Structure 1
């Protein structure tokens, strides 16, 4: 008897090119575009691979019946409709197509940029309504204008490249991108957003959405911009404060805006929809036939790779390492993410140029590649437009000019296992160290800002550098108490071989430490950082 064919179910229409690729690879392909949920549950056990878009839910119920499944691939950027944890536990690779829409999003940004500059939709509506308003809709040229780009990841870089083709000067802000990358990409580096606002004729935002970037363009930002500036948002709705933009448009300080994304979607009654100087589209940034076909093809590539023993380059769950090594390094996964996050937060400036990970003790003798990835994930989380995962972390680091190295030493002084992380910036290096303690492998921070201590990590912590004298911890406790924040634990470390009174204080708290508390402490604390893990 011959071998059973490797079977792949294409549950949704992902385009002909992806389906052809699967068949060309010798896989047996079934199309289940019109299958009901019941049919899918009944037959999923036949397949080694499944390719989906957004309608099919690869949830725990489906995966429980997928006894032969090796890979789930989604033809799109996210994997919200896949139970990644369950898939990982079952040894099923989950992959997506994260680069499928970057060109499309950049091109749509350019479409809105041109429409905004030349009043294209307004002129079209006027003409089809029977009016020849040629003088009313005179626009401005892009040639010689300054485009300010906030967030210089893949999409921002593609926009900049295209804008330069129109003769625009590009000024970009991204605190997490290595400085030499700006020159390579033909853009002037802005040290902070104010440097963009001071010169830009058009401002386009391409930032990730997190608590630090929500309402990034607010009333203060608009006030700092040149009179007559035009705003574009083809990234995420919450990046722009709608009320502040409306006020800036009403005052005339902002002369126009183009929006493809909104705080709540779908939406048909936004307060700016009736404005004559506002161009809007219903989240079309990723909506092209090519992007759809590209997503299907890229997802199919991952299915073929997974089922033929090749590297799955866009997997979003744990890469394969030996079972013994995985068991040995698993207790350190969370610690390494935390150390990367803390080291990046404590660095003297946000633009990281290098990241060194040192493994000492027994863990150094294991396959610790996965741990290095966790450190990079922690350092980059919230700093990139794309979500950082176990597979793309190193690629994203390389794209941003962040050199990553890992070293091993079989012995660790004072501890059985130790992980040290050093981040390098143009302003200097910062090192942190940690380990896991006890049968429950509790993560402990052992070093930060040149001081040593031993503190169990919790979800919220704050780190302070200060001149050590009586009453400082009490002063901090009072400030946190006034803000309704309790201290869970605290540790003070002096700097070895330092004759000064400098010390580092680390506290864990039961809530996020507000920036206002850090600011209110004044000059007695030389530096302060609040970090959420």
Structure 2
């Protein structure tokens, strides 16, 4: 069987070596398609692949049509909105992610950006400290739990809103559950967003929610740009000169927001949450192991298109 690693932004060499070792030990064949320049390259490479490992690469109906032998796609990372789940299901293809492998990397970036925000983007002026401040987590999954762990070490008060996570799980971790997104925003000096982009969440965070934040509030987004109502964000920053927005997901209106609000906003040049050596290696090797588990034993623990 052939396992294709299709990465427009390649894994680190150490991660590729680890993937190669896992696939070789299984007796399968590995094919690399790195830094490809056109979709046609991907369409050609998937034609005889039984499995595909990707990062942010797009797997849509056209790719699935071309992949006649494909049985499984594994996205090395937590998010999987770059894969057309409905089309994959229609083609009988299992889609998996690798939850938790990038979580610490993203959580550390949350704090890097939070510190930068409260120190006024290091512009030389007096800022504030994070100890004793309140942090709200919008979703309490793997990334949120790592953010909570770091925040408690810093001495912050942490609460979370996640209708899919039982209160007793949060309480056991020393986290205060809140029961509405409005309560989360109104009750925290920092809010860190960790929700996926779904029909329900897209553009769900706008003027009304953002302006519920207390004076000096900092909104941090390492999730997806689509969950922000950019018009509402612009309006909120205009109405409240004390608010700040920092994101690892550059909004479409980034240049305009930066021109208008200066040091009150910050955006990484490209999504960097998982861009650490450790996360790169962990996610790539986990993806390879999940491919082998499925092809060899039918194990689909991390399937997301059930």
TM over 0.5: yes
Which of 278, 284, 289 pairs up with 2:277? 289
**Does residue 1:62 correspond to 2:66, yes or no?**
yes
Pair 1:280–1:304, CA change in 2 (3 A):
same
Conserved 8 A contact 2:43-2:63: no
8 Å contact 1:104–1:291 — kept in the other structure? yes
Matches within 5 A, 1:506-521: none
* Distance in 1 between residues matched to 2:181 and 2:84, nearest whole Å: 36
What CA deviation, in whole Å up to 9, does each residue of 1:463-491 have, x standing for no partner?
xxxxxxxxxxxxxxxxxxxxxxxxxxxxx
- Secondary structure of 1:108 counterpart: helix
CA distance in 2, matches of 1:42, 1:235: 30
By relative contact order (CA 8 Å, sep 6+), the higher-ranking structure is 2
Task: Name 1:111's counterpart in structure 2.
Answer: 112
Change (3 A) 1:231 1:54: closer
Q: Which residue of structure 1 aligns with residue 22 of structure 2?
A: 21
**Aligned: 1:80 with 2:121:** no
Which stretches in structure 2 are left out of the alignment for 5+ residues? none
Answer with 1 or 2: which has the greater Rg.
Answer: 1
Q: State how 1:258-269 maps to structure 2 within 5 Å.
A: 258-264=246-252, 269=255
Structure (1/2) with the larger helix percentage? 2
Residue 140 of structure 1, aligned match among 128, 139, 147: 128
Once residues 56 and 196 of structure 2 are traced to their aligned partners in structure 1, the CA distance between those partners, rounded to angstroms, is 21
Q: Tell me: CA distance 1:55–1:149, structure 2 relative to 1, closer, same or farther (3 Å).
A: closer
- Could you tell me the TM-score, scaled by structure 1's length? 0.48
- TM-score (norm: length of structure 2): 0.78
2:218 aligned residue (230, 241, 261): 230
Instruction: Return the offset for 1:191.
Output: 3.0
CA distance in 1 between partners of 2:185 and 2:100 (Å): 29
Q: Is the partner of 2:18 in helix, strand or coil?
A: helix
**Distance in 2 of aligned mates of 1:312 and 1:168:** 38
Displacement of 1:304 in angstroms is 1.3
> Does the C-alpha gap of structure 1 residues 159 and 315 become closer, same or farther in structure 2, counting only changes over 3 Å?
same
Structure 1 stretches lacking a partner, 5+ long: 1-5, 124-132, 317-388, 391-533
Q: 1:17 to 1:255 in 2, by over 3 A?
A: same
> How far, CA to CA, are the matches of 1:271 and 1:111 in structure 2?
21
**Residue equivalent to 1:178:** 166
> d(CA) in 1 for partners of 2:45 and 2:208?
57
Residue 55 of structure 1, CA deviation: 4.7
* Paired position in structure 1 for 2:295: 307
- For this pair of structures, how many residues does the alignment match? 291
- Distance, in Å, in 2 between the alignment partners of 1:38 and 1:102 is 31
Q: CA deviation at 1:86?
A: 5.0
| More strand per residue | 1
Deviations 1:495-514, CA, capped at 9 Å, x for gaps: xxxxxxxxxxxxxxxxxxxx
Q: Aligned in 2, Cα 1:228/1:44: closer, same or farther, shift over 3 Å?
A: closer
* Deviation of 1:19 (Å): 1.6
Output one character per residue of 1:90-143: Cα deviation in whole Å (capped at 9) or x when no partner. xx5443434443333222211111111223x443xxxxxxxxx4xxx2111111
